[in-house]
Structure formats: structure tokens, C-alpha cells
């Protein structure tokens, strides 16, 4: 090669062992590459900073000048190489010696030996084994031969996951992919790609020296790698390869290109070339990675991308300077069926369309590349990408639910079993458990799946062959081993166990911190079983709901121990299906946990179910998303899930919903509801997915900037520096990383705190407060997710665990909306909320002053209360037989007791069975009530209709969050209207009486045209205050409360305030006209005893 004709280049090849060493040196080396007349003269009067600049200029002009300077510093300057740390005299001495040529020999020796930054073994320029040191790779670290000084390149490719090949960090590769690695260099990206199962790589690298290093690094991978020592071009003719200046030293890796647009060495290397289309035709890749110093321009020459599904490219603006080249490539990819997504920074352009590659000081930026990803919109026919069934599914064929099992042995053989299982991690971490006089070592899910499918690991087969142990498929640890044993007591109001007053029972699987439970209890459900394996989540769950019915690992629960229930809920693990995870599907043990849901459905046959997972679940393993939903194609895994649920005897409906309609967060998730086949004809037909009422904005949930929580969450200086260095900050700045107070939050993830540098959304520093941005506080995250203020977040162990738990949670308001429609369609309507007759048929609703029928009034009582009242009337209560305890028993029993009680009233009375005592509340200020009425009329009631209640609108208001700055809302903005309703209502309450002023209410229920609806407020823990406003007929619209079995108190509350106990049955008498009501109530804290229905204001 012509390159080895110069002494400097020859020294490089000698250091790599590709050429024999030779004695002697050439004095001409000192000026190699230095332009004629470029060396300026020096004098005693030159300033020190000018001399520093001249030394730096020399080093930039030629590699040998740098070697001369380093050698001079070693011998004359104590090894200090920074010219700014030397005197003017020292710098003048170097320049004089350099110009005279007296440093020639030293420079050549330094070039031949390396500059001290070379191999770690001590030999100048020798290759060292560089290790990736990436935690996500565990014991599978990359170990490649390369100059130790270039370890930073390894870190850039691996730790930053620039190509997306790192397992567990949104890996873009799938089993069976063929990766075409153009610009393979020494094989970092290729080796990383090979960490994905059954991936093959074709490495294309033109430079002969780099290719030799690549060849040695890839030797261990055998047939999995194909090496191509050619350059990618638009033809097969040989072309000159330019070696970039500054990279042609023994201690550096070679960077080169077919284009002379970058400063390069004078000599070139002639290399063979190959068109990109020919590579695609020859190797038929599914993934293309290009990082080849300009070769990306040849994408426009491809006429048939064949089976390519993904292209990851670093677009180098130095070699492709004009914007038109990028636009042409982007358009060509889009026309070829790819969706192009720019991940890196797009530069600014001058008037000619050329990229501006210099910083504000005119200095060229070190990195002039831009990463973009092109994804195929539709998978080509007969695509070669393999779709595995997964080990969990293979094992499930022989198991009930998720494959489980244990190795059973005598106690004396226990150590041998553990020693055999420990190296491969086959056994679960906890110790063995007694089993019929022997010991059982329970295997992890992946190992059990292999055993159940007949794929016995060799170490286990040896134990079985020798009679040391036997494998028992389906053996579970047992329910009691998973019972919650913590000591956390509920700090917020929750429920545990089945309550006779609730209308349906549900179980909460993969419960997290209780998002499903919050939603379903709101619509009248009672949780009878909970499973959550994460210990920290268990503690948080117990702090909110208590530890009764709380269990750990679902796979350990014996099937007969699942209680009867009406609704099954589950947010099964999303990591195997998430775009942020490894997307292992059913090859991941967590993915196989879905099979536990089918186990419970087959065993318990509940009326319905509600499941939630990441939206990408629909498209994992062969699926394809499209903006036009009708063109989207479900993946094999989602189709399998739906079919499995159908085989359990359920009709399934699915929908991707964005929680943004209920909470201030962009959070897309897929929801699945199911109806048991015998109920599906009626229930499935009337079920409708909920319409979003609007979730507000981030500004509604933020703490004041001066609060202690806000200050605690401020970024440290080092964290703030890391954010500013991130690619997301460089590309989008504050507009991209700071939350828009008038917008919604980005999706809250479990890695919110750990991903702060590149991903996490932050709260920008408000003027005059914090000097650095801050994280959302845990309470703000809870609000963003839709959890009530009473819900305890995190636990005393760690504040950061709160972020992790909330990022994995579901949004209770959206769950509530879906569950409400689900239970209504199944006929599981909450007690006390469903009225006796439809609004259009119940005559008393529009007859001024009319009372509901007695049977409707008694509907608000529980079964126990009805029984107790019958006994008080001297009526014996029939005890039901065991055969009556079937689904729907409660409703039938309640109807029977109601009829009996109505008959008892009729037997003792000849007219109205109960006396109605009319009363009035405490009068309120007319001007203040007038303002409140005007605000109530401005509310958008169409978005707040509450099902199962006869009202034109019903909404629960929580105390508005204190805003750090005055909001820029219009007066008619719903947020402004609700805030004004709260403020005016609270002012009326505080002014009514000293007792009312001290009432610590937690929420307001505001309604429009509430009619009838006898009910009790089960969430109340104390008395409530109520008022009404509007233009309705005199004598009607009174708030009626059952004061005793024979007395009903009817209050005129128009412009007046009353105090009642909502835990007693109450309703509104008939009226004509417009009526608004405001109820102040308390649902958290210490519960007050319920002693009487009416209290003094």
C-alpha cells in the first residue's frame, strides 16, 4: 500500500505487528505534512498566550509536531504537556528547536513507540482488551481488542445505546434478525447485536488495518458473523480511502471515508467497493446500521429494500453538508415505506442550505453527526424475522396457568440439589420448603417451563438420573407462605374484606399500590383478594388498605384458595412488552405471568374482568401500528392473549385509551374487558367505553415553588449539569425537558428518577424561587396519575420507591370510568346509587314535594339493616338455605326483605307509612349565593354526568392546589370555573356559623338537577353540610333524611345550609325547575361515630 511509504505511517503498521521494524530515522519526519513557510518566527517580545497558540497550531497541523512537543516536554518540561502551564521562555525554546529540525529524531522515535496513551500492556500502540462495563449486560460484558485510549468509543456505543442494540434498553433487535453493519470498525456494535438470541451480523469495513482488528474480535463468533472488507459506494470500482487526520497514530483507531470533505492525511488507500443494493441482495438483512463517514448518502440508490424492517443511521453533516442531501434521503425512505424519526440534533443551515457545524465562537463542533431511525410501516410479505412461541408457552401446555414445579429430595440431599441449581440460577432465591416428609426446592418460572416442556437442563437431569431428586410439575409453595406479614396499618381510609353493603366482589392481581382498588371501590366494589409480589408495594398497599387478604407471589397460590368474586382485575407485568423494555414476550418469565390470569378465570368463572397493559402489547412479535387504526396489525402475542381469554369462556373487547382525558398526563394504555359467555349477549351489547371528561393541566397539580417538598426535589448542581449535557437538552432545551404548566405531563415511568439526565420531565425554576429545575414531587406524581390526596405514596423506606411505584401504577379515575360501565352492563350496580325507576318513568321526580315510594326509600338500607328493622317490628326473618348462595343472591335477598318490610309498614299504618317533618336550614347571604349560582351555571355539566344517579350533572371537587403564579385562564375556562365554585362555596360555609367554619371537609359533591335517588354515602366518615340554589318550584326539591324508622326530616335548603349525617338514607323530594346542590363532606381521617341523622349547623 502507498500509505506505508512514509515513516509516520510505517510506524503505525509496525506497532500493530503488520510490518517488520527497521532501524534508523529520517530527519525529514519533523516537517511531514507541514505547509511550506507555515512556521512563524519567534522573538523575545512575543506574548505568552501567542506562543501557546502557535504551539497548538503546530500540533494541529501534523501528528509529528505533536510527538515532537510531547518528547520535548518529557525531557525538558517535567512531563507537563499543557503549553499554558509553561513559561514563554520554555515555549520559545521549543519553537526554535522545532524550526531548526533538532527534534526530528525524537519525534520519529515517539511516533514509532506511541505517545504514551497506547496499550495498557506498556508497549506503545499495542492493543489492549477493553471491557464495556455496562451494568445492563451483567456478566455478558463486551471484551474487544483495541487501543486502550479509545475506551470512550466503547462507552459511547454501549452505555448510551446509540444504535439501540443494548438488551434491556429499548432494544430494536428481535430473535433471528440479520444485521448489516456498515462501518463496523472494530466490531463494538456487531458484538452488542450478537447479544440478542439468534442474531447474525454482516460487518462491512473498508480500512485494512481496522478490518484486521475486526477480524480478530469477531473470530469467536464463528458462523454468526460475515466479514466484508469493502467500502460502500454507488459502483464496484476501486476508490481512494482517506484517513482522517489525528486518527492515524498507533494509539488511536482508524477513521476513514471515501470522501475528502474532512481534513485527512496526504496518502490514501485504494479499496474495493460494493453498492448498497448488492449487499441487500446478497445478505437479505432485516436491520441496517450505518455509521460509515458519508456512506449513508447511498441509501437513495437502493431500489428494493427487500426484507429490511429497520434502519439506524448516523447522518454525518460533514460529508453530507447540504440540507438537500438529507431531504432527498428522507423522502426516498418515506417513499419506500419507512417512517423516519430523527433522534439526534438537527443543525442550523445557512442561506445556501449548508449545515452550520461551528459553535458560537466559530470553532468546529466535535460531533457533527445526527442519529435517525427509519422503521418499515408494514412488514414485507414472507419476512424472515422469526416469531418464537416462547418457553413460557411451551411449558404452559403441560401446566395449569404459569408453569411451576419443584425438585423434591430428602433433606440429606438438599445441598446437592442447591449446588446443582445455583450456578445456572434455576432455583428461586428463598430456601426449600417441607413437602410430605421431604424438602421441595421450587424452580424459577423459566426453569419450570423448560422442565414442563421436556427440555430438562443437564444439571437437573443428572440429579434425576442418580435418584437424588424428582421433579413434580405444578407443585406450588402454598397460599399461607405468601400471606402479608408486615405491620403496616392503614393511614388512609380504605376497605378490606367483603362488606354486605357493597354490590360486587373483585380480586386485585398484580395490584401494585392499589390503583385498580381505588377505582373499583368507588363504584361499589369490595376487594376480597390481593396479590402483589413486590415487598415495597405491599407495604404501600397495606398503608392504604390494610393487610387483610393481601398475598405475595401469585404463582404460589393454590387454585382452590382463590375466593369467589364477580370481577377480576389485573395490570399484568408490562416489561416484556414495553418499548422501553427487552420485549422478550413469552420468553420472559414475567410475560408468562399472564397465564395466571387464565388459571383464575377457569377456576372461579367471575362475571367479567378488566385488564391493563402498555399499548405496545398489541404489536409485539410481528404486529404493526399505523396512525389509521384500521390499518394496524396485531402481533402474535396479543392475538394469543385474546384467544386464550376466549378459550376461558369470555367475550373480549379491547381499546387503547389515553389517560389524558382523565388526568393531566399523556399515558396511552391498552385495556381489555371480558364478559362471561352466558352474560355476554346482554352485557357485551350495552357496554360502552367511557368518554373522557378532561383531565386538566399540570399547573393544577403543582406544589408552590416555596414549599419544602419542591425545594427537596430540586436538582443538585451535578444533576443539572448532566441534564444540560444530554442529547435531549441539546436538541430541545427547556421547551422539551420542562413541563408546560398549561399542558399535560409526559408518560410517568418507573425509571423517572434514574432516567433524569436524558428522559425525565422536570419543573422549570419559577422566577424568584429555585435557581435550578426540580423533579415532580411524589405527591405531584400521585396527582398526575389521578390518585386521591388521601392515598399514601411510597413508604418510609425510600422516597425514590414512590416514583417507581407510581410509574408502574394505573390511573384510578380511568379505571373507575371503565369499571362503572362494566359493572352496570353486568348488572352489578352499586347499592345506594341505582334509583328505583328511570328518570322518565318515576312520577314523583317531577311532582313538587312528592316523596319516593316507600320501597325506593328502603332500597338505601343494607340487608342487615332491613333484617334488623323487621325484627324490631316483630316480624321473623326467614333464614336462607345453603343452595340459595349463588350469584345474584344478594339482590334477590334484598328484594325479599324489602317487600316484607313494606308489608310490615302497611300492616301498622293506614296512610303514609312514615311521618314527614318539614324544616329549614340556616339562611345564607343572598349576594354570596347569587355569585355561587352564576358560577354553577357556567360549569360544563355535560362532561360530568354521573351514572346511576338521576342528575343532569354530578362532579366531585377536590381542594384546588395552590398555584405558584396567577393562572392565565379565561373566566369561562373549566379550570377557572371549578376553582371559583370551590372558593365561593367554602366562603359560604365558613361564614354560616363557628361550627361550620371549623368543619374540615375534604371534598365537595356538586350536582345539577339531582332528583330522588335514595342512597347512603358510604365514603363519608362524619357529618356533611348541604345547600341548594336555583329556580325551582316552592315546596319541592327538599333534602330528606330518614331520622328514624318512622320519621323523615325534609329540609328546605334553597339558599340555606343544613347539617346531616349522610350515612343515614337520604334523597331529594320531587320538584320542577332548575336546582343546584353543594355537599361538603369528609372521607379521610379519623371516623366519627354515626349517632343521629340531623345535627345543628
Length of the chain: 1097
Q: Would you state the cell numbers that stand for residue 235, as one nine-digit string?
A: 459502483
Task: Identify whether 574 is a catalytic site residue.
Answer: yes
**Please, which residues have CB within 8 angstroms of residue 676's CB and are 6 or more apart in sequence?**
605, 606, 607, 608, 649, 650
Q: 998: buried, middle or exposed (CB in 10 Å: 19+, 13-18, 0-12)? A: exposed
Helix (H) or strand (E) holding 465: helix 458-465
Return d(Cα 75, Cα 55) in angstroms, integer: 17
Give CA–CA dist 361/98, Å, rounded: 30
**Residue given cell 432455583 in the structure block:** 427
CB 318 within 8 A of CB 211: no
A 10 A CB-CB count for 778 gives 20
Pairing of strands 310-316, 273-275: unpaired
Cα separation, 818 vs 802, in Å, equals 26
Q: How far is CA 165 from the centre of its chain?
A: 20
Q: Which three cell numbers stand for residue 419?
A: 449446588
Contact 157, 163 (CB under 8 A): yes
| Alpha helices for 909-963 (secondary structure H) | 926-938
Nearest to 474 by CA among 640, 596, 644, 643: 596
- Are 527 and 819 in contact, with CB atoms under 8 Å apart? no
Angle at 623 between CA 618 and CA 625, to 5 degrees: 75
CB neighbours of residue 45 within 10 Å: 7
Question: What does each C-alpha distance from 758 to 574, 720, 907 come to in angstroms?
Answer: 22, 11, 76
For residue 764, count other CB atoms closer than 10 A to its CB: 16
C-alpha closest to that of 990 among 999, 1002, 982: 999
Q: Which cell is 740 given?
A: 408546560
Q: Which residue of the set 203, 574, 781, 1040 is catalytic?
A: 574
Of 243, 828, 314, 353, whose CA–CA distance to 566 is shortest? 828
Grid cell locating 823: 359493572
Task: Classify residue 604 by its DSSP letter.
Answer: H
- Grid coordinates belonging to 402: 404459569
Dig out the grid coordinates for 246 from the structure: 489525528
Active site residues: 574
Amino acid at each position: 500500500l502507498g500509505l506505508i511509504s512514509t515513516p509516520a505511517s510505517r510506524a503505525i503498521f509496525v506497532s500493530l505487528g503488520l510490518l517488520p521494524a527497521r532501524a534508523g530515522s529520517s530527519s525529514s519526519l519533523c516537517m511531514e505534512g507541514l505547509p511550506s513557510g507555515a512556521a512563524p518566527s519567534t522573538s523575545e517580545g512575543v506574548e505568552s498566550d501567542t506562543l501557546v497558540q502557535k504551539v497548538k497550531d503546530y500540533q494541529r497541523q501534523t501528528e509529528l509536531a505533536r510527538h515532537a512537543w510531547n518528547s520535548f516536554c518529557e525531557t525538558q518540561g517535567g512531563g507537563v504537556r499543557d503549553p499554558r502551564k509553561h513559561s514563554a521562555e520554555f515555549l520559545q525554546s521549543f519553537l526554535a528547536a522545532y524550526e531548526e529540525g533538532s527534534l526530528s529524531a525524537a519525534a520519529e522515535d515517539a511516533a514509532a513507540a506511541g505517545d504514551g496513551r497506547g496499550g495498557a500492556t506498556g508497549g506503545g500502540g499495542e492493543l489492549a482488551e477493553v471491557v464495556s462495563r455496562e451494568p445492563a449486560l451483567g456478566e455478558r460484558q463486551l471484551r474487544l481488542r483495541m487501543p486502550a485510549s479509545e475506551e470512550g468509543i466503547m462507552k459511547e456505543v454501549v452505555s448510551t445505546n446509540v444504535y439501540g442494540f443494548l438488551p434491556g434498553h429499548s432494544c430494536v433487535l428481535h430473535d433471528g434478525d440479520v444485521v448489516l453493519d456498515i462501518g463496523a470498525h472494530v466490531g463494538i456494535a456487531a458484538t452488542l447485536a450478537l447479544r440478542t438470541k439468534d442474531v447474525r451480523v454482516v460487518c462491512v469495513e473498508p480500512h485494512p488495518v481496522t478490518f484486521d482488528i475486526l477480524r480478530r474480535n469477531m473470530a469467536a463468533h464463528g458462523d454468526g458473523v460475515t466479514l466484508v472488507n469493502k467500502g460502500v459506494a454507488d459502483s464496484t470500482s476501486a476508490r481512494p480511502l482517506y484517513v482522517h487526520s489525528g486518527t492515524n497514530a498507533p494509539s488511536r483507531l482508524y477513521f476513514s471515508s471515501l470522501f475528502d470533505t474532512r481534513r485527512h492525511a496526504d496518502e490514501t488507500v485504494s479499496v474495493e467497493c460494493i453498492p448498497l443494493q448488492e449487499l441487500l441482495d446478497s445478505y437479505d438483512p432485516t436491520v441496517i446500521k450505518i455509521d460509515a463517514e458519508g456512506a449513508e448518502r447511498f441509501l437513495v440508490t437502493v431500489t428494493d429494500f427487500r426484507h429490511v424492517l429497520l434502519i439506524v443511521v448516523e447522518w454525518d453533516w460533514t460529508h453530507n453538508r447540504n440540507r438537500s442531501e438529507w431531504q432527498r434521503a428522507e423522502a426516498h425512505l418515506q417513499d419506500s415505506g419507512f417512517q423516519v424519526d430523527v433522534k439526534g440534533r438537527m443543525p442550523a443551515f445557512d442561506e445556501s442550505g449548508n449545515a452550520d457545524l461551528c459553535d458560537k465562537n466559530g470553532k468546529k463542533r466535535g460531533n457533527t453527526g445526527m442519529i435517525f431511525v427509519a422503521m418499515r410501516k408494514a412488514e414485507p410479505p414472507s419476512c424472515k424475522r422469526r416469531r418464537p412461541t416462547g418457553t413460557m408457552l411451551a411449558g404452559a401446555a403441560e401446566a395449569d396457568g404459569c408453569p411451576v414445579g419443584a425438585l423434591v429430595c430428602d433433606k440429606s440431599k438438599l445441598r446437592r440439589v442447591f449446588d446443582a441449581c445455583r450456578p445456572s440460577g434455576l432455583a428461586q432465591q428463598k430456601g426449600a420448603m417441607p413437602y410430605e416428609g421431604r424438602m421441595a426446592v421450587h424452580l424459577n418460572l423459566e426453569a419450570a417451563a423448560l422442565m414442563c416442556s421436556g427440555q430438562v437442563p443437564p444439571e437437573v437431569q443428572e440429579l434425576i438420573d442418580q435418584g437424588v431428586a424428582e421433579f413434580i410439575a405444578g407443585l406450588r409453595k402454598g397460599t399461607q407462605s405468601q400471606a402479608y406479614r408486615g405491620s403496616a396499618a392503614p393511614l388512609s381510609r380504605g376497605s378490606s374484606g367483603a362488606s354486605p353493603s357493597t354490590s360486587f366482589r373483585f380480586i386485585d392481581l398484580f395490584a401494585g399500590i392499589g390503583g385498580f382498588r381505588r377505582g373499583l371501590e368507588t363504584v361499589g366494589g369490595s376487594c376480597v383478594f390481593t396479590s402483589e409480589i413486590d415487598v415495597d408495594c405491599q407495604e404501600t398497599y397495606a398503608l392504604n388498605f390494610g393487610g387483610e387478604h393481601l398475598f405475595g407471589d401469585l404463582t404460589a397460590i393454590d387454585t382452590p384458595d382463590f375466593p369467589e368474586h364477580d370481577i377480576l382485575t389485573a395490570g399484568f407485568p408490562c416489561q416484556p412488552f414495553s418499548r422501553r423494555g427487552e420485549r422478550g414476550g413469552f420468553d420472559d418469565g414475567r410475560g408468562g405471568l399472564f397465564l395466571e390470569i387464565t388459571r383464575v378465570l377457569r377456576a372461579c368463572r367471575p362475571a367479567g374482568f378488566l385488564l391493563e397493559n402498555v399499548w405496545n402489547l398489541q404489536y409485539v412479535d410481528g404486529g404493526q401500528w399505523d396512525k389509521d387504526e384500521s390499518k394496524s396489525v396485531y402481533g402474535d402475542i396479543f392475538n394469543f392473549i385474546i384467544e386464550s381469554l376466549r378459550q376461558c369462556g369470555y367475550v373480549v373487547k379491547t381499546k387503547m385509551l389515553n389517560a389524558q382525558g382523565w388526568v393531566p398526563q399523556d399515558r396511552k394504555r391498552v385495556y381489555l374487558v371480558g364478559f362471561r359467555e352466558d352474560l355476554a349477549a346482554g352485557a357485551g351489547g350495552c357496554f360502552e367505553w367511557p368518554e373522557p371528561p378532561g383531565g386538566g393541566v399540570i399547573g393544577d397539580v403543582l406544589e408552590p415553588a416555596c414549599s419544602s417538598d419542591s425545594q427537596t426535589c430540586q436538582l443538585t448542581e451535578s444533576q443539572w449539569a448532566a441534564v444540560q449535557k444530554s442529547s435531549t437538552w441539546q436538541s430541545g432545551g427547556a421547551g422539551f425537558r420542562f413541563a408546560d404548566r398549561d399542558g399535560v405531563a409526559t408518560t410517568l415511568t418507573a425509571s423517572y428518577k434514574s432516567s433524569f439526565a436524558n428522559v425525565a420531565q422536570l419543573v422549570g425554576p419559577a422566577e424568584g424561587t429555585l435557581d435550578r429545575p426540580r423533579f415532580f414531587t411524589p405527591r405531584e406524581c400521585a396527582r398526575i396519575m389521578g390518585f386521591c390526596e388521601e392515598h399514601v405514596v411510597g413508604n418510609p423506606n425510600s422516597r425514590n420507591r414512590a416514583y417507581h411505584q407510581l410509574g408502574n401504577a394505573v390511573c384510578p379515575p380511568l379505571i373507575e370510568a371503565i369499571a362503572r360501565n362494566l359493572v352496570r352492563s353486568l348488572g352489578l350496580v352499586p347499592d345506594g346509587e341505582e334509583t328505583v325507576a328511570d328518570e322518565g318513568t318515576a312520577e314523583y321526580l317531577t311532582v313538587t314535594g312528592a316523596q319516593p315510594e316507600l320501597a325506593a326509600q328502603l332500597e338505601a338500607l343494607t340487608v342487615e339493616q332491613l333484617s334488623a328493622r323487621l325484627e324490631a317490628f316483630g316480624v321473623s326473618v326467614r333464614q336462607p338455605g345453603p343452595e340459595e348462595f349463588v350469584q345474584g343472591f344478594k339482590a334477590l335477598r334484598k328484594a325479599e326483605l324489602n317487600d316484607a318490610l313494606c308489608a310490615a309498614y302497611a300492616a301498622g299504618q293506614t296512610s303514609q307509612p312514615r311521618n314527614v317533618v318539614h324544616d329549614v336550614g340556616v339562611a345564607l347571604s343572598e349576594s354570596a349565593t347569587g355569585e355561587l349560582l352564576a358560577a354553577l351555571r357556567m360549569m360544563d355539566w355535560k362532561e360530568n354526568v354521573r351514572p346511576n344517579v338521576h342528575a343532569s350533572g354530578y362532579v366531585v371537587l377536590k381542594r384546588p392546589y395552590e398555584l405558584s403564579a396567577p393562572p392565565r385562564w379565561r373566566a369561562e375556562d373549566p379550570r377557572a370555573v371549578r376553582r371559583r365554585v370551590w372558593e365561593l362555596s367554602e366562603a359560604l360555609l365558613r361564614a354560616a356559623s363557628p361550627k361550620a367554619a371549623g368543619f374540615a371537609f375534604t371534598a365537595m359533591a356538586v350536582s345539577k338537577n339531582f332528583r330522588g335517588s335514595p342512597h347512603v354515602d358510604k365514603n363519608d366518615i362524619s357529618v356533611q353540610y348541604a345547600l341548594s340554589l336555583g329556580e325551582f318550584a316552592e315546596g319541592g326539591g327538599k333534602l330528606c333524611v330518614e331520622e328514624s324508622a318512622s320519621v323523615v326530616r325534609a329540609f328546605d335548603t334553597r339558599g340555606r345550609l343544613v347539617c346531616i349525617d349522610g350515612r343515614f338514607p337520604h334523597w331529594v323530594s320531587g320538584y320542577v325547575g332548575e336546582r343546584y346542590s353543594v355537599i361538603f363532606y369528609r372521607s379521610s381521617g379519623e371516623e366519627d361515630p354515626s349517632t343521629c341523622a340531623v345535627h345543628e349547623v
